[in-house]
Amino acid sequence: MAKEIQYSGCTISEDPCICFEQLSKKEQKFLDENTVKIKYKKGEIICKQGSYASHIMSVESGLVKVYIDDGINSLVLKMIPEGSLLGLSSVNEEYTTFQYSATSYIDTVVNQINIVAFRKLLNKNPGFAKSVIDILNAKSVQINSRFFCLTHKQSYGRLADIILCLADRVFKKREFDLPLSRKDLAELSTMSAETVIRMLKKFKEDDLIVMDGKKLKIVDYDRLKRISETG
Amino acid sequence: MAKEIQYSGCTISEDPCICFEQLSKKEQKFLDENTVKIKYKKGEIICKQGSYASHIMSVESGLVKVYIDDGINSLVLKMIPEGSLLGLSSVNEEYTTFQYSATSYIDTVVNQINIVAFRKLLNKNPGFAKSVIDILNAKSVQINSRFFCLTHKQSYGRLADIILCLADRVFKKREFDLPLSRKDLAELSTMSAETVIRMLKKFKEDDLIVMDGKKLKIVDYDRLKRISETG
DNA sequence: TATTAAGTATGATTTAAATCAGTTTTAATA
DNA sequence: TATTAAAACTGATTTAAATCATACTTAATA
């Protein structure tokens, strides 16, 4: 029997903005003329669900939290690192407003691309449009994976996923300064902050990770991976 | 304060295949030549996650269950009625295989569109591509809504969502023959079949619905809606 | 530096929903 | 029509994780 698919709660989609490579020199210049760069400090709001969307964004540097809320509860859809597109759902003329909110986990630089210009390029350059379709599809595959985990894995597995995601996809090393609070981790793995604390403690007791202040080091990657898979 | 967004666990995205309207007569003919019609009986497999995807599909009639699984657990991503596209994620050349499985809840007719032909049209006709982008975005907004509900609403609300979804989006009336088993309903609302049974019983006792054999009638729509909203 | 406020930590209690074990009903097949 | 199998149902028990209450630490601000 072939190896089964392993879903992960990590939702850093590997979708660098390759679509822009599809643009001609002239189109690239046109895009640049319709782009502005904005810097955000940690914790600032990048876009707010429900507000008018005048631009598509790409994250130049930093780490962004993307979430939806209904006024009572909120759900973190994903965290996205540099190189990702943001607010793409607003290319659809029916969604004149942002479908989700975004804030910065850490200091972040975002390029705002005029939405009219972006749409113009879509309608002119099929290769560009095709590439955007590919990105959207990759995003949806990733979201489904996370969806699966949040509904089926239990807490230990979900938390392991986030830690592995940070190591593998965000920092690309096994030791890093954790930029997220316990509450942030709780939101990402849909559980309470208290539960996160208890489970981190357990991970430490079991010698899976070592924490010193903001420093987090994965000492038993394989076992953490196994917890992610089994649970 | 403006009215907050109401998320719903229903995931019938109102995305008729409007993209095909963007095609010229000639392109439409080209598409027809590359399309075959397949009939499925209730419970048959329409596509299987992991197998090679040679076509994009559109549901002509029936009701389809779309789900992913890792060999142990499965998650129903959505049910889709006639008029929806299916397997769209495979337009991405990186996903040569289906990213999910699909089976028919009831007798279903599906059009299989040759994927090479579909991609050709995407690369030739930007209006078509733009329209596909819009559909993908609508799908992702819908998935996020359901994602929110499955992680935040509790069981009563999630089951109410499915019943309302069937009434509002599938059958478009408040009385219908329920084509889904208790287990199907359980999968759709991510809970156990036993819990579904208990909750349907409660709904009946509370005079929200009436059930007679396969017949289901919503007698207090507003109260059911409120349960859906309050969770 | 004192004061306040977040954030982290821990223990006790509650709770929603799963699981387990069994019965009844309905549908499918020999 | 008898036999088997699959759904539907019910009650008892367990369990994972939330919630509540409270203390301790670190960071932010007056």
Look-up of token digits 């099929």 = A126
Chain centre to alpha carbon of residue A103? 11
Angle at B30 between CA B27 and CA B34, to 5 degrees: 140
Measured in angstroms, the CA of A203 and the nearest CA of chain B are apart by 24
Three-state secondary structure call for residue A126? helix
Residue B111's pLDDT is 97
Q: How far apart are CA B111 and CA B117, in angstroms?
A: 14
Q: How far apart are CA A127 and CA A19, in angstroms?
A: 8
Topology of the domain comprising B18-149? Jelly Rolls (2.60.120)
Asked if A213 reaches chain B (Cβ–Cβ under 8 Å), the answer is no
Three-state secondary structure call for residue A100? coil
Of B4, B68, B124, the CB nearest to A148: B68
What tokens were used for B83? 């008029």
Q: Which of B147, B153, B190 to mutate to test the interface with A (most CBs of A within 10 A)?
A: B147
Of B6, B125, B140, the CB nearest to A126: B125
Beta bridge partners of A57: A86, A112
What tokens were used for B104? 């028919």
Nucleotide nearest to A192 (CA to C1'): D18
Chain centre to alpha carbon of residue B229? 21
Q: How far apart are CA A57 and CA A175, in angstroms?
A: 30
Strands B45-47 and B215-218: unpaired
**Window A:99-128, CB contacts with B under 8 Å:** 99-100, 119, 122-127
Q: How far is CA B2 from CA A70, A163, B227, in A?
A: 11, 37, 21
Half-sphere exposure for B53 (CA within 13 Å, toward CB): 28
Of B71, B134, B152, the CB nearest to A4: B71
Among protein residues, the one whose C-alpha sits closest to the C1' atom of D9 is B197
Asked if B33 reaches chain A (Cβ–Cβ under 8 Å), the answer is no
| Residues B39-77: tens digit of each pLDDT | 999 999 999 999 999 999 999 999 999 999 998 899 999
Angle at A5 between CA B189 and CA B89, to 5 degrees: 70
Measured in angstroms, the CA of A228 and the nearest CA of chain B are apart by 13
Asked if B200 reaches chain A (Cβ–Cβ under 8 Å), the answer is no
| Residues A74-107: tens digit of each pLDDT | 999 999 999 999 999 898 888 889 999 999 999 9
Asked if A73 reaches chain B (Cβ–Cβ under 8 Å), the answer is yes
Residue A94's pLDDT is 83
Residues B130 and A176 sit within 8 Å (Cβ to Cβ) = no
**How high is the mean pLDDT of chain B?**
93
Q: What is this structure's pTM?
A: 0.93
Report CB contact under 8 Å: A132, B133: yes
Query: At the top level of CATH, which class does the domain B153-230 belong to?
Result: mainly alpha
Residues B88 and B24 sit within 8 Å (Cβ to Cβ) = no
> What is the DSSP code string of A8-21?
-S-------SGGGG
Q: How far apart are CA A10 and CA B91, in angstroms?
A: 24
Residues B156 and B223 sit within 8 Å (Cβ to Cβ) = no
pLDDT band per the 50, 70, 90 thresholds, residue A185: very high
Question: CA of A92: which chain B residue's CA is closest?
Answer: B134
Of B70, B92, B139, the CB nearest to A4: B70
pLDDT band per the 50, 70, 90 thresholds, residue B18: confident
Judge if the beta carbon of B154 is closer than 7 A to nucleic acid strand C.
Answer: yes
Residue B3's pLDDT is 56
| Burial class for B29, CB neighbours closer than 10 Å (0-12, 13-18, 19+) | exposed
Closest by CA position to A78, among listed A69, A88, A66, A87: A66
**Window B:160-199, CB contacts with A under 8 Å:** 190
Q: What residue segments make up the domains of chain A, in order of their start?
A: 18-149, 153-230
pLDDT band per the 50, 70, 90 thresholds, residue A1: very low
Q: How far apart are CA B130 and CA B155, in angstroms?
A: 38
Task: Give the bases of strand D that a protein CB approaches within 7 Å.
Answer: 7-12, 16-21, 27
pLDDT at A11 over 90: no
Outline where A98-154 has alpha helix (H): 115-124, 126-152
Q: How far is the CA of A154 from the C1' of C18 (A)?
A: 13
